[in-house]
Structures are given as structure tokens and as C-alpha cells.
Amino acid sequence: MISNAPRLIELTATSGPVTAHDRYSLEDVPAGATTVRLVASVAVGGPTRLLAPLVRRSIRRADAGQLDAFERLLDR
């Protein structure tokens, strides 16, 4: 375990009228494991906001893949 590792990682990305903010928090749990929580928020502006439910669904799928990749990185 790395004692000086960050416990919170925040990322913001903007593409056109869509802004996504991801907040990853890490918490040590028994047996040397780590729980990772992801809270994502998405803002959709302009006429694209009519497609917000589709945009959010797409981002949710992408975020699931990010958590899998993050888990593999932590397990190294």
C-alpha cells in the first residue's frame, strides 16, 4: 500500500456543449483492499440538452469501463 497516494481524483472534460465532471474517491477497507467510488455529473447545454438522457447513458457505460481499468491499475 502506498501511504502518500491521493485519496481523491477529480477530472473535468468539455466537448462541445457537454461538460462531464468525475470524482473518484478511494477508501481502504479490511484485507488490504481499496474501495473506489465514482460520482459523475454531466451538464449538457444548448439544443443538445434535448439529447441529455442519451448522453448520460453513454457516459455511464464509458465510466463503467474506466472503473474496470482503474481496478486493474490498482491491482498491479
Q: Is residue 1 part of a domain?
A: no
Question: Rounded CA gap, 67 and 21, in Å?
Answer: 15
Q: Is residue 66 part of a domain?
A: yes
In this model, does residue 1 exceed pLDDT 80? no
Condensed to tens digits (0 to 9), the pLDDT of residues 9-42 reads 899 999 888 898 989 898 888 888 888 888 888 8
**Domain housing 52:** 8-74
The answer for residues whose C-beta is within 8 angstroms of residue 8's C-beta and 6 or more apart is 23, 24, 25, 26
What pTM was estimated for this model as a whole? 0.67
Domain count, the chain: 1
Q: Is residue 2 part of a domain?
A: no
pLDDT score recorded for residue 14:
94
In this model, does residue 3 exceed pLDDT 80? no
